[in-house]
Amino acid sequence: MATKKSEATCGCEIPGSGRKALGVDPEIKASNLRRLSRIEGQIRGIQRMVEDDRYCADILMQVSSAQEALRAVARSLMRNHLAHCASHAIRTGSEEEKQAMYDELLEMIYKNAR
């Protein structure tokens, strides 16, 4: 299976269905979905604050809070990806698939380290 340099072949993919993780713990998924729902509410609250001309420092505090909540979801997703998809690809993939996974992981780390 040919891949672009920055696009790894996930070890958890179902052939023909696109990229999809199979090793997702239902509790972690539910937790992430709850977090995302709360974040969605936070974003709507920030929007109302802007509409109501609230004090800028208060809005910025809420933005910072929402960003940290999103980072927590990202960490959870990264942990799952490393534990399942990446480790599977590195253990059982071809040399090309392993290299593609390493490239994908580095790209993810660089983007999430900002």
Q: Look at residue 17 and tell me whether its pLDDT is greater than 50.
A: no
Rg (CA), the chain: 18
pLDDT at 6 > cutoff 70: no
Confidence band (pLDDT; 50, 70, 90) for 13?
A: low
Is 61 inside any structural domain?
yes
User: Domains in the chain: how many in total?
Assistant: 1
56-76 in b/e form (b: 16+ CB < 10 A) is: eeebeebeeebeebeeeeeeb
Angstrom distances, CA of residue 83 to CA of 48, 62, 68: 39, 32, 22
Per-residue pLDDT tens over the stretch 40-82: 999 999 999 999 999 999 999 999 999 999 999 999 999 988 8
pLDDT at 10: 47
* C-alpha dihedral, 111 to 41 to 77 to 14, nearest 10°: -110
Q: Is position 49 within any domain?
A: yes
At 22 the pLDDT is 61
Residue 92 lies in a domain: yes
Tally Cβ neighbours within 10 Å of residue 31.
14
pTM higher than 0.85: no
Residue 63 lies in a domain: yes
Domain-located, residue 7: no
Give the separation between CA 41 and CA 2, rounded to whole angstroms: 41
Percent of the chain with pLDDT over 90: 57
Does any domain span residue 16?
A: no
Range of the domain at 56: 26-112
Residue with the bigger pLDDT between 8 and 85: it is 85
**pLDDT of residue 25 exceeding 50:** yes
Q: CATH number for the domain including 84?
A: 1.20.58.1000
Alpha carbon 42 to its chain's center: 19
Q: Is the residue at 68 inside a domain?
A: yes
Q: Answer whether residue 82 is part of any domain.
A: yes
